[in-house]
Amino acid sequence: MDGSFTVRGVVATRPRHVVTEEGLAVTSFRLLAGASRDRSWFTVSALRRLAVNAAGSLEEGDPVLVIGRLVIREWGGEHPGAAAEVEAAAIGHDLARGRSAFTRVRVSPDASPAKGR
């Protein structure tokens, strides 16, 4: 992944998992990163299989590492602002702060391409 961004933090909201009408799995959550005086907030979005696995693995309060593409969304109007979002390519528990158990997910041979995308 060219220009990847890595952030270490805590899952600050319960991960929200949805499947769009087109069958695309999406999981998102807010991430709080940084020391107590220098904190940053990010919205993390995961798609397809990563979304399904993140929804089944992450809970509010989990320490994680996220690798992805940083996107700054800006808006104007009466209340202009900006928000930092990470389009995740990988998410994992921060093993410097706890233990984790890995469960390999097997894809069935009859799974259609639309499932878990």
Contact 17, 27 (CB under 8 A): yes
* Length of the chain in terms of residues written: 117
Q: Any residues with CB less than 8 A from the CB of 108 and at least 6 apart, and which?
A: none
Residues 2-29: tens digit of each pLDDT = 689 999 999 999 999 999 999 999 999 9
Three-class SS of residue 52? helix
Residues 41-56: tens digit of each pLDDT = 999 999 999 999 999 9
Q: Which CATH superfamily is domain 5-93 in?
A: Nucleic acid-binding proteins (2.40.50.140)
pTM for this entry: 0.84
CB atoms within 10 A of CB 109: 5
Domain locations in the chain?
A: 5-93
Q: What share of the chain is helix, strand, coil (3-state, %, to 5)?
A: 10, 45, 45
Three-class SS of residue 49? helix
